[in-house]
Amino acid sequence: MAAKIPIAQQRMFANVFICRDCSKKVRTQATRVIAKKVKCPRCGSHTFRPIRKK
């Protein structure tokens, strides 16, 4: 089994959020998501969830 590289983990999962409506990935800061200042580029929704580590 491959070892997890911390730099690669950070690049893939840090500040990445998923739109709850259309599942589009968006990279932004968590404070902006909480304040609902981020809009999904695909559907225009303001609801996001954090990405799940696999």
Identify the CATH number of the domain in which residue 12 sits: 2.20.28
Total-model pTM: 0.83
Q: So what's the pLDDT on residue 1?
A: 55
Residue 1 lies in a domain: no
Q: How many domains does the chain have?
A: 1
Instruction: State the residue range of the domain holding 16.
Output: 6-50
Give pLDDT tens digits along the chain (54 positions).
Answer: 567 899 988 888 999 999 999 999 999 999 999 999 999 999 999 999 999 887
Q: Tell me the backbone φ, ψ of residue 13, rounded to 5 degrees.
A: -115, -10
Residues 6+ away with beta carbon under 8 Å from 49? 17, 18, 20
